[in-house]
Amino acid sequence: MLTSTVCAAVSAGGLGIALLTAYRKRFLAATRIAAFALIPIGLVMTGIIDWVTDLVFKPTVWAGFGVLALSALLFLVSRAAERRGSGGHDLPPAGRPDTLTPGAPAIGAPAGRPEGRSKTKGRKGTGGEFDDIEAILKKHGI
C-alpha cells in the first residue's frame, strides 16, 4: 500500500516536470521525461512492485541468497584448491594407475627422452647448458 502511494507520487512528480519541460517548447525532452515518469505507476499496476517488496523484506529470501552465496564460495574455493594441487588427492585421477608398472615412464617425465640423459643433443662430456652460451658468444664474435 505504501509502495503504491510512493510510486504514484513519483509518477505525478515526473509528469509535472514533463509538463514544465513541454511549456518551455522542449517537446522531445518532455516526451522522454513523461515516459520515465510512467514506469513506476505501470509497475504498481502490473503487480511487480508487490513481488519485489515481498522479495526484499522477507528474511527467508535473504537467507536463501546467503546459502546460494555460500555455495558459490565453496565451489570457487574447491576449484582454486584443485588448480593449486594442494588438495583432493583422496582418489587417483581418472586414467592414471595407482602404482607405476615396471618399464612404464614416470608421469612427469617428458616422452621420448630417457630420464638419465642430459639436454646436450648427443654430445658427450661437454658442459651442457654452457655449450649453448658458448655458441651464442661465438655467434656474436665474443
pLDDT tens for residues 108-128? Answer: 555 555 555 555 555 555 567
> Is the per-residue pLDDT at 23 higher than 70?
yes
Q: Which residue has the cell 655467434?
A: 139
Average the pLDDT over 129-134 and give the result: 84
pLDDT, position 27? 93
> Is the per-residue pLDDT at 45 higher than 60?
yes
> Is the per-residue pLDDT at 100 higher than 90?
no
Q: What is the model's pTM? A: 0.45
What's the grid cell of residue 42?
505501470
**Percent above pLDDT 90 for the chain:** 39
> Is the per-residue pLDDT at 107 higher than 80?
no
Contact 120, 131 (CB under 8 A): yes
> Letter for the amino acid at 62?
W
Contact 72, 66 (CB under 8 A): no
What's the grid cell of residue 48?
511487480
Domain ranges of the chain: 1-46, 57-86
Higher per-residue confidence, 66 vs 107:
66
Give the count of beta carbons closer than 10 Å to the beta carbon of residue 16. 12
Higher per-residue confidence, 13 vs 96:
13
